[in-house]
Amino acid sequence: MARPITLFTGQWADLPFTEVARLAGEWGYDGLEIACWGDHFDPWAAVEDDGYVQGRRDILDKHGLQVFAISNHLTGQAVCDDPIDARHQGILPARVWGDGEPEGVRQRAADAMRTTARAAAKLGVDTVVGFTGSSIWKTVAMFPPVPQEMVDAGYRDFADRWNPILDVFDEVGVRFAHEVHPSEIAYDYWTTVAAMEAVGHREAFGLNWDPSHFVWQDLDPVGFLLDFRDRIYHVDCKDAKRQVGNGRNGRMGSHLAWADPRRGWDFVSTGHGDVPWEACFRMLNHIGYSGPISVEWEDAGMDRLVGAPEALQFVRRLAFDPPSAAFDAAFSSGG
């Protein structure tokens, strides 16, 4: 059976959930990856009110949609981040931000992620997608010189803060799919290895594979799938376009706004960038990934009402099922 293709609602949270569900259903999406912000999904309401969960399901059912995962990137970011500052106030629920005292924010964010695990279970899904934050991302340039102990302490801090959260994920039968992404504890190949080691390779902690973050770092998204095949818990389809090579545009983005042609790379709608999509889908087949393929629309140069339905058609064309029999089986004489 073909894998379901869903739409991640995070970039649509300015619209009411009912409107996003209507659009996705009309375009032909199979379901939604529901964001825990805007009015799309409230983890606290889900845990406290059975009627709230049924109401979300009624909206999905009305538009012929399913749900396989919820996402709480914004709150997860605050669990480990250092510093905690005005950027976080802009993305966090008021009950997590509170008075803004950094450690209090981190503790409330951790409690909110535990609530998110319970909310996912109430909704009947087994995957929460999100970020972890990182106390050591600020040291990525390695200057002023960064002692190894500081790096090691960052991974210990991640483990100390996330293991109690993951305990709740285990209790309720839900998995956390961390999106490998710059600004997180795992942002490339080797930091993913280190993060896995930090939490003892526990099964509650897996990965959300989003290849857009690989291509501008010159990482191989296809090889990553193969090497981490047992931890690919969710797939987001987002694209990125490199714009280096002119001697001016830098890989780090130069603190320029999205879609500025002076940037060294940019997020673009799925199929318009440098992700080797066919090779990626063939590898997903090879590793036996059977979960949802979620379109994450981000493109500052394209209207989302154009990009989202176009991306669906692009993914549906390439996300073919593996063969039911080897092609060379037909060569057998059967004798």
Domain with residue 237: its CATH number is 3.20.20.150
The token duo for 292 is: 């949802």
The token duo for 316 is: 């549906």
Q: Give the C-alpha separation, 32 to 21, whole Å.
A: 8
Assigned domain for 288 exists: yes
Q: Give the C-alpha separation, 288 to 297, whole Å.
A: 25
Assigned domain for 263 exists: yes
Query: Are 311 and 269 in contact, with CB atoms under 8 Å apart?
Result: yes
List 266's β-bridge partners, or say none. 241
The token duo for 115 is: 């609530």
What's the pLDDT score for residue 323?
76
Assigned domain for 30 exists: yes
Helix (H, G, I), strand (E, B) or coil at 114: helix
pTM confidence score:
0.96
Q: pLDDT category, 335, cuts 50, 70, 90? A: low
In this structure, which amino acid lies at residue 312? L
Residue 234's contacts (CB-CB under 8 Å, 6 or more residues apart) are 33, 69, 127, 129, 177, 206, 207, 208, 209, 291, 292, 294
Query: Are 185 and 134 in contact, with CB atoms under 8 Å apart?
Result: yes
Q: What is the pLDDT of residues 179-206, one digit of tens each?
A: 999 999 999 999 999 999 999 999 999 9
Assigned domain for 329 exists: no
Assigned domain for 330 exists: no
Considering just the CA atoms, what is the radius of gyration of the chain in Å? 20
223 vs 323, more confident: 223
Q: What is the pLDDT of residues 297-320, one digit of tens each?
A: 999 999 999 999 999 999 999 988
Q: pLDDT category, 1, cuts 50, 70, 90? A: very low
Query: Are 47 and 115 in contact, with CB atoms under 8 Å apart?
Result: yes
Residue with tokens 């009305």: 62
The token duo for 73 is: 């990137």
Query: Which structural domain, as residue segments, surrounds residue 210?
Result: 5-324
Assigned domain for 18 exists: yes
Assigned domain for 331 exists: no
Please, what sign has the CA dihedral across residues 207, 208, 209, 214? negative
Query: Are 36 and 43 in contact, with CB atoms under 8 Å apart?
Result: yes
Assigned domain for 161 exists: yes
pLDDT at 331 over 70: no
Task: Tell me how many domains the chain contains.
Answer: 1
